[in-house]
């Protein structure tokens, strides 16, 4: 076994936590029952790594087997690294009929046309998603398995989620994806986050959405109603309204765990108390970043508690509505209300 | 816009009614739960985020004997909101039927200027200023006791004393050199 | 662990008062300084009842201060020493006046602190006596030229060098910890009110292992009968730093003005607001101009005042930034707390961490922090 394979195993072992090791190796299925039992999990990571290297040598396992193990682990634990979202545009007539085998073949052949040295591995996950692992090389070097790009695509949807993609590789991947899914273009959807599941749910609207209604919704009833007859909430109704509006903007119940949203503001400074700045022609340039363990829940709480005025500004409600978390805001025409956001590219 | 009036309604028998105004609506709930536990008199608590109070509750709202503004010193907004609410009170309330309660006064993030501002506000309106601790059950109990002792007087439940008389003793005063800077 | 290392600083101070050989001096000091009769904290204690506010002396941050001038500090202070002070993030503490501290005895202090650390370390390592002995070399030195007024005591720099645990014999010792004690533009009234044997260096900055900081502090407490306490940088102070730094933009670019706010929602929301340097400066100068106009209308403008910055301008600047934010997000930053501000000239965190990146404006920043530290002095 060569050093690059050894390093791949070392790298893998350092990423997989001990308590997940047995199940992951079991799923992999390349170790015999006896070999699996011989992995003593009370040993140190280092010792276990040496043991695994020995077993791999004994079983004559190659790179493709090792990458399989990596994919099994990544698919089970996708919430690592930064995931970026791309959106496929202008589908061809036959885009809806692309099925898995066809996509696999097409994608592999297209990407090999573009890059000679590339190693592609695909796997269909139970939730209909196709996982693609790409190890890139170039004219002078063999595919680097230590820095693979992962792509997740749900067939028949326009969304593609990508992690660890360099600027150089981006056009190559884009072209291969566009051709193999029978679309005409692909664009950056301006949504990124550490949790793949969260950005997927946000993109595909897989969370509880709340719609305006003139009938009292169950939400208002959930509101902490007065338990004691001697305590009266004077502003129970406005509070319920705020909660309703907050939920309409950001969704109800558990929300996808998005960590941050960034706004690049290039708008005029307007403040009646400051004439000098208001008369200034140039925009006031600033960047605002919102961050939280669950951004959407934080923002919903801001609106329901009154820290953010309701109705929620379109700027903030655009995050779930448009499924984006990067915005560039510029003035568009005179009035202060006619702000529009434009994608960065 | 309705202005709250202290004498527009008749008092209830052995009843004291308090209005807790807090923009953050955090501490008021635990205070309310503790206040209604009082057995010597019936205590009714009304909770509000800010004034004015909605007109539609006018009917079933009892006569408010004491208005307590809760100000969280770590939030500038909390003070601004209380300050803005004050103008929806009838001047009659400022004869001993308003008090301020601040929380987080010991928090080091709080600039001293903010406490000074609250102090000046309370002093200019001849109102008492209470300090409370909202994180522990003990703190809530203490704050409740202090509010109750003022409330009972304000509601006329304590013989031989009046809210106006009490307020002349308990009102906040501003030290003469509050603005004195530490340097020349 | 030194004995009683985890007792709170204040308790320790009370203990130390009883240990003071010149107890009468403390009493005398109390009566001598008129305007320092009650510290801010004791005033809070007094008001926690029904607030019959006693006529106490409130001490507050200055509401006006001179605009920062670019000091060519490198001419006055040894550049090598200066390089040790800038570009490091320091954890701040306040220190009560040091009893019988002599700037002339720094050499012997170096020896004593080295010995103290060695002794304390040995206590902690009772089990593994045979391990390689980690030695610490302490050096005290003077940073001459930092003091601004005649009343300021000279700044003292402390460095601790050590070898890594598994270093080779010939490897040189590396600095593992450093700290300093300073007083820049301290209030002359207060400094003069101190008895002769006390040296006031109220601002203490440290950088390095927490354990060493604790040891250094406890050595100071034992030798100079002083007490240490954490020095947070309050909301007002952070706003002052923002304004003072932005005011320097024309001379030395601030590159950006960054503020970090935390809003008290569930889960907590952190807002990072970064403003382009030019725009921040223009907003600042517009706030300055407004004030100048007012001054001229009231014929208040004096030569001196033109160069001073008032708290109204500082809050006006902040108000402008907040209102621009509110106009877009309809979210009121006033509901939250300002945790951190930074520019290319330096950064400051509420938790008492400061980094000064440009030595030219170091004096201004240290003056403000000295003032904050003096407000904390227990009297």
> pLDDT tens for residues C275-331?
999 999 999 999 987 767 666 665 554 444 557 888 899 999 999 999 999 999 999
Check residue C343 and give its pLDDT.
Answer: 95
C272 and A291 in contact by Cβ < 8 A? yes
- What is the ipTM score, two decimals? 0.87
- Residues of chain C positioned with their CB less than 8 A from the CB of A329: 328
The residue ranking higher by pLDDT, C36 or C80, is C80
Check residue C10 and give its pLDDT.
Answer: 41
C232 and B111 in contact by Cβ < 8 A? no
Instruction: Round to whole Å and give the CA distance between B43 and B31.
Output: 12
B81 has a chain A CB within 8 A of its CB: no
What count of other Cβ atoms lies within 10 Å of the Cβ of residue C119? 11
Does C25 share its domain with C157?
Answer: yes
- Min Cα separation C249/chain A (Å): 16
DSSP H/E element including C139: strand C136-143
Beta strand B42-48 with B15-21 is parallel
Enter the tokens of residue C230: 């954490």
User: Could you tell me the pLDDT band of residue B179, with boundaries at 50, 70 and 90?
Assistant: low
Instruction: Round to whole Å and give the CA distance between C137 and C161.
Output: 5
- Min Cα separation B65/chain C (Å): 19
- Min Cα separation A305/chain C (Å): 8
Measuring CA to CA, how many Å separate C291 from each of A236, C280, C310, C311, C353? 44, 17, 9, 11, 32
Enter the tokens of residue A304: 């329901």
User: Could you tell me the pLDDT band of residue C48, with boundaries at 50, 70 and 90?
Assistant: very low
Bridge partners, B45 (sequence order):
A231, B18
Residue C246 has pLDDT above 90, yes or no: yes
Check residue C189 and give its pLDDT.
Answer: 85
C236 has a chain B CB within 8 A of its CB: yes
- Residues of chain C positioned with their CB less than 8 A from the CB of B106: 44
Q: What is the mean pLDDT of residues B83-112?
A: 91
Residue C49 has pLDDT above 60, yes or no: no
- Min Cα separation A295/chain B (Å): 20
Does C42 share its domain with C123?
Answer: yes
Residue of A nearest to B29 (CA): A231
Question: B154 lies in a domain?
Answer: yes
Residue A226 has pLDDT above 60, yes or no: no
Q: What are phi and psi of C65, to 5 degrees?
A: -145, 160
Instruction: Please name the member of C58, C63, C350 whose beta carbon is closest to the beta carbon of B175.
Output: C58
- The top-scoring range by mean pLDDT among A73-82, A334-343, C76-85, C101-110 is C101-110
Residue C242 has pLDDT above 70, yes or no: yes
A274 and C268 in contact by Cβ < 8 A? no
DSSP H/E element including C162: strand C155-162
Measuring CA to CA, how many Å separate A263 from each of A266, A267, A318, A330, A341? 10, 11, 11, 10, 9
The residue ranking higher by pLDDT, C26 or B117, is B117
CA B84 to mean position of chain CA atoms: 14
Question: B8 lies in a domain?
Answer: no
Instruction: Round to whole Å and give the CA distance between A291 and B23.
Output: 24
B32 has a chain A CB within 8 A of its CB: yes
Q: Which of B2, B16, B25 to mutate to test the interface with A (most CBs of A within 10 A)?
A: B25
Does C55 share its domain with C198?
Answer: yes
B54 and A238 in contact by Cβ < 8 A? yes
Q: What is the mean pLDDT of residues B164-179?
A: 80
Check residue C12 and give its pLDDT.
Answer: 40
A235 and B53 in contact by Cβ < 8 A? yes
Residue A326 has pLDDT above 70, yes or no: yes
C51 and B172 in contact by Cβ < 8 A? yes
Check residue C13 and give its pLDDT.
Answer: 41
- Min Cα separation A229/chain B (Å): 8
Q: What is the mean pLDDT of residues C348-356?
A: 95
**Cβ contacts of A75 within 8 Å, gap of 6 or more:** A123, A125, A131
What count of other Cβ atoms lies within 10 Å of the Cβ of residue C344? 18
- A-C CB pairs within 8 A amount to 112
* Mean pLDDT, rounded, of chain A: 86
What count of other Cβ atoms lies within 10 Å of the Cβ of residue C107? 11
Q: What is the pTM of this model?
A: 0.85
- Residue B53: strand, helix, or coil: coil
What single-letter DSSP state applies at residue C133?
P
A232 and B24 in contact by Cβ < 8 A? no
C232 and B77 in contact by Cβ < 8 A? no
- Number of domains, chain B: 1
**pLDDT for A296-317, tens place per residue?**
999 999 999 999 998 899 999 9
Question: B132 lies in a domain?
Answer: yes
Instruction: Round to whole Å and give the CA distance between C68 and C254.
Output: 14
- Min Cα separation A282/chain C (Å): 9
Binding partners of C (≥3 Cβ pairs within 8 A): A, B
CATH number, residue B41: 3.40.50.300
Full residue range of the structural domain in which residue C331 is found: 235-350
Q: What are phi and psi of A134, to 5 degrees?
A: -120, 120
B55, B56, B59, B61 alpha-carbon torsion, rounded to 10°? -70
C335 has a chain A CB within 8 A of its CB: yes
Check residue A99 and give its pLDDT.
Answer: 86
Q: Which of B32, B84, B89 to mutate to test the interface with A (most CBs of A within 10 A)?
A: B32
Does C106 share its domain with C197?
Answer: yes
Check residue C100 and give its pLDDT.
Answer: 93
Does C217 share its domain with C255?
Answer: no
- Residues of chain C positioned with their CB less than 8 A from the CB of B143: none
Residue A214 has pLDDT above 80, yes or no: no
Does C123 share its domain with C111?
Answer: yes
Does C222 share its domain with C250?
Answer: no
- Min Cα separation A223/chain C (Å): 16
**pLDDT for A99-133, tens place per residue?**
888 999 999 999 999 888 889 999 887 777 899 99
Instruction: Round to whole Å and give the CA distance between A294 and C267.
Output: 7
Which of B52, B44, B62, B65 has the alpha carbon at shortest distance from B21? B52
| Pick from A106-115, A212-221, B73-82: least confident | A212-221
Question: C358 lies in a domain?
Answer: no
Check residue B4 and give its pLDDT.
Answer: 87
For C:100-119, CB contacts with B below 8 A are none
DSSP C310-325: EHHHHHHHHHHHHHHH
Check residue C166 and give its pLDDT.
Answer: 67
B108 and C53 in contact by Cβ < 8 A? no
Task: Report percent pLDDT > 70 for chain B.
Answer: 95
Q: Which of A270, A302, A311, A325 to mutate to test the interface with C (most CBs of C within 10 A)?
A: A302
| Pick from A92-101, B65-74, B81-90, B153-162: least confident | A92-101
Q: Which of A228, A231, A310 to mutate to test the interface with B (most CBs of B within 10 A)?
A: A231
Residue of B nearest to A305 (CA): B24
Residue B73 has pLDDT above 50, yes or no: yes
What single-letter DSSP state applies at residue B92?
G
Q: Does domain A83-202 have CATH number 3.30.70?
A: no
| Pick from B115-119, C18-22, C255-259: least confident | C18-22
- Min Cα separation A273/chain B (Å): 18
A274 and C286 in contact by Cβ < 8 A? yes
**pLDDT for A168-193, tens place per residue?**
999 999 999 999 999 999 999 999 99
Does C186 share its domain with C284?
Answer: no
Q: Taking phi first (over 0 means left), then psi (-120 to 50 degrees means alpha), and beta for anything else, what does residue A251 get?
A: left
B143, B145, B150, B155 alpha-carbon torsion, rounded to 10°? 120
Q: Which of C257, C328, C343 to mutate to test the interface with A (most CBs of A within 10 A)?
A: C328
Check residue A338 and give its pLDDT.
Answer: 35
Enter the tokens of residue C351: 């938790």
- Residues of chain A positioned with their CB less than 8 A from the CB of C269: 290-292, 295, 298-299, 301-302
- Min Cα separation C40/chain B (Å): 9
Q: Taking phi first (over 0 means left), then psi (-120 to 50 degrees means alpha), and beta for anything else, what does residue A216 get?
A: beta
Binding partners of B (≥3 Cβ pairs within 8 A): A, C
- Number of domains, chain C: 2
Does C157 share its domain with C300?
Answer: no
Instruction: Please name the member of B78, B109, B180 whose beta carbon is closest to the beta carbon of C350.
Output: B109
**pLDDT for A23-61, tens place per residue?**
898 888 888 888 888 888 888 888 889 989 999 888 888
| Pick from A80-84, B84-88, C45-49, C150-154: least confident | C45-49
C48 has a chain B CB within 8 A of its CB: yes
Answer positive or negative: Cα dihedral of A192, A197, A200, A205: negative
B47 has a chain A CB within 8 A of its CB: yes
Check residue A219 and give its pLDDT.
Answer: 52
C48 and B131 in contact by Cβ < 8 A? yes
What single-letter DSSP state applies at residue A145?
T
* Mean pLDDT, rounded, of chain C: 79
Answer positive or negative: Cα dihedral of B9, B12, B14, B19: negative
Check residue C40 and give its pLDDT.
Answer: 38
Beta strand A326-330 with B129-132 is unpaired
**pLDDT for C138-149, tens place per residue?**
999 999 888 888
Question: C3 lies in a domain?
Answer: no
Contact (CB, 8 A) for A318 and A190: no
C275 and A276 in contact by Cβ < 8 A? no
DSSP H/E element including B44: strand B42-48
Does C288 share its domain with C211?
Answer: no
**Cβ contacts of A120 within 8 Å, gap of 6 or more:** A107, A108, A111, A112, A132, A133, A134, A135
Task: Report percent pLDDT > 70 for chain C.
Answer: 74
- Residues of chain B positioned with their CB less than 8 A from the CB of A238: 49, 54
Q: Work out the burial of residue A3: count CB atoms within 10 Å of its CB; fewer than 13 is exposed, 13-18 middle, 19 or more buried.
A: exposed
CA A25 to mean position of chain CA atoms: 26
Enter the tokens of residue B161: 């004393």
Instruction: Please name the member of B25, B36, B60 whose beta carbon is closest to the beta carbon of A231.
Output: B36
Check residue A141 and give its pLDDT.
Answer: 82
What count of other Cβ atoms lies within 10 Å of the Cβ of residue A340? 11
């Amino acid at each position: 076994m060569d050093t690059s394979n050894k390093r791949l195993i070392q790298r893998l072992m350092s990423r997989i936590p001990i308590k997940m090791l047995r199940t992951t190796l079991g799923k992999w299925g390349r170790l015999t029952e006896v070999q699996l039992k011989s992995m003593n999990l009370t040993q140190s990571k280092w010792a276990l790594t040496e043991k695994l290297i020995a077993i791999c040598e004994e079983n004559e396992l190659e790179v493709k087997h090792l990458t399989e193990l990596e994919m099994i682990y990544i698919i089970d634990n996708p919430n690592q690294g930064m995931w970026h979202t791309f959106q496929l545009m202008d589908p061809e007539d036959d885009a809806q009929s692309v099925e898995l085998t066809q996509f696999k073949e097409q994608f592999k052949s297209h990407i090999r046309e573009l890059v000679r040295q590339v190693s592609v591995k695909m796997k269909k996950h139970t939730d209909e998603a196709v996982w693609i692992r790409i190890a890139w090389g170039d004219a002078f070097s063999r595919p680097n398995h230590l820095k693979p790009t992962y792509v997740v695509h749900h067939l028949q949807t326009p969304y593609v989620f990508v992690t660890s993609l360099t600027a150089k590789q981006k056009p190559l991947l884009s072209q291969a994806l566009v051709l193999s899914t029978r679309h005409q273009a692909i664009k950056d959807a301006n949504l990124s986050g550490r949790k793949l599941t969260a950005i997927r749910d946000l993109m595909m609207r897989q969370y509880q959405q709340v719609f305006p209604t003139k009938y009292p919704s169950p939400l208002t009833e959930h509101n902490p109603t007065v338990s004691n007859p001697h305590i009266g909430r004077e502003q129970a109704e406005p509070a319920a309204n705020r909660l309703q509006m907050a939920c309409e903007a950001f969704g109800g119940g558990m929300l996808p765990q998005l960590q941050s949203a960034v706004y690049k503001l290039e708008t005029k400074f307007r403040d009646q108390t400051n004439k000098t700045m208001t008369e200034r022609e140039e925009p006031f340039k600033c960047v605002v970043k919102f961050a939280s363990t669950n951004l959407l829940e934080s923002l919903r709480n801001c609106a329901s508690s009154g820290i953010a005025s309701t109705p929620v500004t379109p700027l903030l409600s655009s995050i779930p509505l448009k499924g984006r978390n990067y915005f560039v805001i510029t003035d568009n025409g005179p009035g202060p209300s006619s702000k529009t956001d434009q994608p960065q590219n | 816009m309705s202005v709250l009036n202290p004498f527009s309604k008749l008092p209830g028998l052995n009843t004291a009614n308090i209005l807790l105004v807090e923009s953050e609506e955090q501490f008021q709930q635990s205070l309310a739960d503790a206040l209604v536990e009082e057995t010597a008199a019936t205590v009714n608590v009304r909770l509000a985020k800010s004034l004015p109070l909605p007109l539609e509750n006018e009917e079933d709202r009892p006569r408010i004997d004491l208005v307590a503004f809760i100000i969280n010193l770590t939030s500038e907004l909390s003070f601004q909101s209380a300050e803005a609410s004050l103008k929806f009170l009838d001047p009659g309330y400022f004869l001993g039927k308003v008090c301020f309660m601040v929380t987080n006064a010991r928090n080091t993030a709080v600039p001293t200027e903010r406490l000074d501002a609250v102090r000046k506000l309370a002093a200019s309106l001849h109102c008492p200023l209470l300090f409370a601790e909202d994180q522990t059950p003990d703190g809530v109990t203490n704050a409740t006791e202090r509010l109750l002792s003022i409330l009972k007087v304000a509601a006329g439940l304590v013989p031989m004393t009046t809210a106006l008389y009490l307020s002349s003793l308990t009102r906040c005063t501003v030290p003469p050199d509050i603005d004195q800077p530490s340097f020349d | 662990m030194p004995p009683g290392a985890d007792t709170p600083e204040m308790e320790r101070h009370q203990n130390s008062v009883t240990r003071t050989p010149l107890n009468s001096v403390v009493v005398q000091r109390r009566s001598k300084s008129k305007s320092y009769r009650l510290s801010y904290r004791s005033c809070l204690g007094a008001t926690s009842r029904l607030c019959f506010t006693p006529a106490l002396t409130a001490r507050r941050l200055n509401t006006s201060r001179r605009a920062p001038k670019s000091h060519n500090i490198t001419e006055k202070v040894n550049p090598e020493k200066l390089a040790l002070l800038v570009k490091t993030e320091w954890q701040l503490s306040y220190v009560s006046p040091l009893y019988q501290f002599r700037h002339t005895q720094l050499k012997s202090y170096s020896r004593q602190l080295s010995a103290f650390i060695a002794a304390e370390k040995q206590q902690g390592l009772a089990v593994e006596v045979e391990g390689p002995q980690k030695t610490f070399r302490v050096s005290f030195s003077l940073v001459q030229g930092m003091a601004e007024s005649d009343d300021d005591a000279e700044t003292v720099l402390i460095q601790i060098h050590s070898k890594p645990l598994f270093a080779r014999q010939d490897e040189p010792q590396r600095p593992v910890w450093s700290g300093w004690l300073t007083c820049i533009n301290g209030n002359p009234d207060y400094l003069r009110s101190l008895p002769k044997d006390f040296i006031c260096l109220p601002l203490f900055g440290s950088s390095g292992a927490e354990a060493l900081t604790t040891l250094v502090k406890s050595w100071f407490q034992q030798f100079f009968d002083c007490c240490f306490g954490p020095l947070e940088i309050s909301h007002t102070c952070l706003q002052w730093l923002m304004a003072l730094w932005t005011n320097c933009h024309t001379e030395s670019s601030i590159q950006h003005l960054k503020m970090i706010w935390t809003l008290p929602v569930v889960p907590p929301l952190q807002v990072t607001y970064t403003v382009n340097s030019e725009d921040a400066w223009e907003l600042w100068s517009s706030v300055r101009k407004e004030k100048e106009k007012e001054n001229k209308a009231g014929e208040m403008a004096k030569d001196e005042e033109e160069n001073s910055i008032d708290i109204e301008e500082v809050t006006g600047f902040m108000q402008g930034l907040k209102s621009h934010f509110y106009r877009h997000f309809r979210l009121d930053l006033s509901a939250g707390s300002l945790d951190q501000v930074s520019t290319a000239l330096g950064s400051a965190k509420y938790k008492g961490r400061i980094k000064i990146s440009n030595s030219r404006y170091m004096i201004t920043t240290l003056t403000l922090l000295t003032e904050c530290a003096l407000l904390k002095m227990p009297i």
